Structure 1
Amino acid sequence: MTTETNWKGVEQAPRGLGPMLLRIGGGPTDGVFVGYQDPDTGRWFDQENREVQPRFFALIPSFDCEDEG
């Protein structure tokens, strides 16, 4: 049995994608933060516009926040 993961190597990210979840390391205790990739330069940034060097990314799942009840 294999475990499916939403984390993929940043080299697989479509250029300029964001915002997304980013992770510097590959371990389950490594911190996760929201960031993006600059479409022109390919460099990665966190939400405070500090350059980061992530190794993995995961798309942020979309969901509907409207209460239908």
Structure 2
Amino acid sequence: MFQNNFSTYTVSEIRPKGLKSKIDGIEIYSIDGRLVQKFNTSLEKYAISNQPAGAYLIKINSNNKISVNQLIKK
């Protein structure tokens, strides 16, 4: 399990911090469990400006490990 490496809120992008290995993919889920956005590449930042304000779950796949974190977009 990774530590929560995301800010509590963001405006238009998320920037993972403190990960020592490459991110293999990120999936963003609405709080009701629907997949709303998916990234299959390792980037420095991930644009989420097309998502409305609300609570989301972020599933991070890195080095064959999976972490789920919460994001509140204001």
> TM-score normalized by structure 2?
0.31
Q: Judging by fraction of residues, say which structure has more helix.
A: 1
Give the structure with higher Rg (CA): 1
Q: Judging by fraction of residues, say which structure has more strand.
A: 2
> TM-score normalized by structure 1?
0.32
